[in-house]
Structure 1
Amino acid sequence: MNQSILVVGAGFSGAVIARELANNGHQVTICDARSNVGGNCHTERDKQSGVMVHRYGPHIFHTTDTEIWEYVSQFTTMKPYRHSVRTTVQSSVYSLPINLQTINQFFGKTFNSDEARAFLADQCEDFQAPQNFEQAALASIGRPLYEAFFRGYTIKQWGCDPTEIPAQVFARLPVRFNYDDRYFDHRLVGIPADGYTALIQNILDHPQIDLQLNTTCTAQDISDYDHCFWTGTIDSYFNFIHGRLGYRTLSFEMARKAGDWQGCAVMNYGDISAPYTRVTEHKHLAPWEDHNETVISIETSKACGPTDTPYYPTRKLSERDQLKSYVDMAKAAPNVTFAGRLGTYRYLNMDTCIRAAIDIVAAYCSAVTSGSPSPNFATDPL
């Protein structure tokens, strides 16, 4: 039974949901408040330099899921890419993630792997079950590395003390005891040759998909459709009845420079005294291209206000009860499925968003065929 479906949000999650629904014979309208598809993955060429700019910060596609890599490769040429990050702290430049080079340089040592492990073990503090970001860091790498590389950066990025952030956030940050300075050690790492926006435009190129940009949708707009997939913020769907959940937004100061500005794609600034979190030099995100000029963006994080664009959820420990209230409402809401980073209030990588989108459409189509209830979430926020 073919249905008329509304998808709100034309980022990765919304685009893949729309495509999979269309492939299954449904008529899909997808809307986005912005003038372009791609959400925060939006890329565009700088007209003067020709550099492909990641307009809302650098996005690197990395996964261990071969099927997801093959899925996106249907719609673009994925160029292999090795992401290497540097950080400026205490007037020195170090390699991230923390690895054997970082440890030896910071402490002025020449440790081998086992010696470095033993040394850091002596630095670590005893938290058997870390309850927050700071405790997780202190239990893993000790206070000197935490204070230098993570405390100031985390305060700037999240706008709160690290003791307010869940321990799981630190668990996403690798620590290596070899000289591997790849930020992602997944087997499949790349960037679309023509940028993410072109990739998502190709995903949405289907006769049963009606794309409507510069279009804002609310919960009231779904009544004309059999079902809605909502990838906007979960609290906005319910008109903030339980208050606004915490999100961070970003601002970017763009500038053109001559030649090579910083010698790497991303330079973090860990010191609390530096007002920005990182600087991206975009041409290094496409090393297969050659440009005489370069484009940099200086990135600053702040709390997301009512008129700002949300980038990622804070998921503070203090927000758990508030989030549960919204999740309970979402599970009871008819004819709507919440998906994506904003719709499920989770920090999700691109490959995870795509996998969840494919799986939720499969579950929805099965439910339609069998007459069973449709799923409410692509990924349960709790």
Structure 2
Amino acid sequence: MFDYLIVGAGFAGSVLAERLASVADKKVLIIDQRDHIAGNAYDYYNKDGILIHKYGPHIFHTNAKRVFDYLGQFTQWRPYEHRVLASVDGQLVPIPINLTTINTLYNLNLDCSQLEAFFESKAEKKDKILTSEDVVVSKVGKELYEKFFKYYTRKQWDLDPSELDASVTARVPTRTNKDDRYFTDTFQAMPLHGYTKMFQKMLSHPNIKIMLNTDYREIIDVIPYKFLIYTGPIDSFFNYCYGRLPYRSLEFKFETLDTEVFQATGTVNYPNEHAYTRITEFKYLTGQKHPKTSIVYEYPKAEGDPYYPIPRPENAEIYKKYQQLANAMTNTYFTGRLATYKYYNMDQVVAQSLALFDKISQQQSEKHVNGEKVFQTT
């Protein structure tokens, strides 16, 4: 008898497995249909000995000290601040848009105070910010919106920004200084030996058993357990009874090149002229020294592994129906990007699972009845 059966060995499931095993002394079985742990953060050494991220670049950043300190139990950190250039008008310029971006594109020599006025002159004020297009156009105007966001967003989501929730482009701010870091979070670092090593340590507790290459439906009626934690797609769990929740997927094209450095920074975005959205060079992220380098091209697509929940009002309505079914279940918990249909960063998933562990700890108290441990929801 396992106390917890956890479906999915990515961040959402692994954090809960570790907390339940090490803090609450519960017996946990964590299963995954893939042949590895670590979910989409899985990394490995390719045949040339270069550490790459199988499911595209994963760059850790957070403002949550609790999350950073928690993961720091399982890895040393390598400080790393990610920088991104965008290929626009035949030039590579910083994104998010900053002072350097504008001065380079327009051949100007503005200072920070003048840049504010420049953006004001371009901005088209909106009464209500409802869509991703509204977010950008209201800050920097149509021209910059089209150069940097419109076509990139179309490629990424197969939707015009006017059809997407404001939260999508709000993730990429506009700056009035020369700060060219992609993120401004307090804690920016990468696991020193990679994500997979971090997950291996996280799941090394003797109370945790792992089953890979396993669909939970194959074993759920065979292996006894008391509580279920599900981190997969919520619509799949309920057999798509309200229809499928749409996701965007990605196709990755990896190349190893016989050169030490391929591009000027970790990631270069291609908003306009190519079918791919960006190219990432892994050695920037990992800090690895190697005579060769490995890069990945990202091609957004509709079918494939579900990566990005599509933030549109009609999708939120479908999710609410599934959420009501989930809330009505006893002894079952849903967490993670897929199970809650939210476009979360890694640190947000960790925070969500830590919060769920806190909730479970409060809800469940052990009683001894007839010499047996039982769990009672309080």
* Fold agreement, TM-score > 0.5: yes
How far apart are 1:286 and its partner, in Å? 2.0
Aligned partners of 2:77 and 2:192 also within 8 Å: yes
- 1:266 paired residue number: 267
What letter corresponds to residue 297 of structure 1 in structure 2?
V
Question: For residues 51-200 of structure 1, what are the structure 2 equivalents within 5 Å?
Answer: 51-200=50-199
Tell me how far apart the structure 1 counterparts of residues 58 and 179 of structure 2 sit (CA, whole Å): 20
How far apart are 1:253 and its partner, in Å? 0.9
- 2:335 paired residue number: 339
Tell me how far apart the structure 2 counterparts of residues 13 and 211 of structure 1 sit (CA, whole Å): 15
- 1:378 paired residue number: none
How far apart are 1:108 and its partner, in Å? 2.1
Tell me how far apart the structure 1 counterparts of residues 129 and 344 of structure 2 sit (CA, whole Å): 22
- 1:327 paired residue number: 323
What do residues 269-320 of structure 1 show as CA deviations (whole Å, max 9, x unaligned)? 000x310011111111123x3110011111111113xxx2111211222312
Tell me how far apart the structure 2 counterparts of residues 201 and 311 of structure 1 sit (CA, whole Å): 23
- TM (norm. structure 1) is 0.92
Tell me how far apart the structure 2 counterparts of residues 318 and 149 of structure 1 sit (CA, whole Å): 27
- TM (norm. structure 2) is 0.93
Secondary structure of the 2:136 match is helix
Aligned partners of 1:164 and 1:317 also within 8 Å: no
What do residues 29-74 of structure 1 show as CA deviations (whole Å, max 9, x unaligned)? 00001111111111001221x2210111111111122222111111
What do residues 165-187 of structure 1 show as CA deviations (whole Å, max 9, x unaligned)? 10122221121111110111112
| Identity value in percent | 37
Distance 1:87 1:128, change over 3 A: same
What do residues 171-227 of structure 1 show as CA deviations (whole Å, max 9, x unaligned)? 211211111101111121011111101101110001111100111113982683211
- 1:290 paired residue number: 289
How far apart are 1:89 and its partner, in Å? 2.1
Aligned partners of 1:219 and 1:238 also within 8 Å: no
Q: Name structure 1 gaps, 5 residues minimum.
A: 375-382
How far apart are 1:160 and its partner, in Å? 1.0
Secondary structure of the 2:40 match is helix
List, as ranges, runs of 4+ consecutive aligned residues in structure 1 with deviation greater than 3 Å: 370-374
Distance 1:345 1:220, change over 3 A: farther
- 2:371 paired residue number: none
- 1:251 paired residue number: 251
Tell me how far apart the structure 1 counterparts of residues 219 and 321 of structure 2 sit (CA, whole Å): 20
Tell me how far apart the structure 1 counterparts of residues 376 and 207 of structure 2 sit (CA, whole Å): 25
Tell me how far apart the structure 1 counterparts of residues 121 and 100 of structure 2 sit (CA, whole Å): 19
- 1:364 paired residue number: 360
Tell me how far apart the structure 2 counterparts of residues 324 and 79 of structure 1 sit (CA, whole Å): 40
Tell me how far apart the structure 2 counterparts of residues 372 and 119 of structure 1 sit (CA, whole Å): 62
What letter corresponds to residue 332 of structure 1 in structure 2?
A
- 1:380 paired residue number: none
- 1:33 paired residue number: 33
Moved more, 177-186 or 316-325: 316-325
Aligned partners of 2:194 and 2:286 also within 8 Å: no
Moved more, 123-132 or 210-219: 210-219
Distance 1:103 1:373, change over 3 A: farther
What letter corresponds to residue 149 of structure 1 in structure 2?
F
Tell me how far apart the structure 2 counterparts of residues 207 and 18 of structure 1 sit (CA, whole Å): 11
Secondary structure of the 1:292 match is coil
How far apart are 1:135 and its partner, in Å? 1.1
Aligned partners of 1:257 and 1:295 also within 8 Å: yes
Tell me how far apart the structure 2 counterparts of residues 250 and 164 of structure 1 sit (CA, whole Å): 20
What do residues 219-261 of structure 1 show as CA deviations (whole Å, max 9, x unaligned)? 9826832111111011111011111101111111111112211
- 1:202 paired residue number: 201
Tell me how far apart the structure 1 counterparts of residues 274 and 226 of structure 2 sit (CA, whole Å): 50
Q: Name structure 2 gaps, 5 residues minimum.
A: 367-374
What letter corresponds to residue 333 of structure 1 in structure 2?
M
How far apart are 1:263 and its partner, in Å? 2.5
Aligned length: 367
Aligned partners of 2:2 and 2:29 also within 8 Å: no
Tell me how far apart the structure 1 counterparts of residues 219 and 106 of structure 2 sit (CA, whole Å): 59
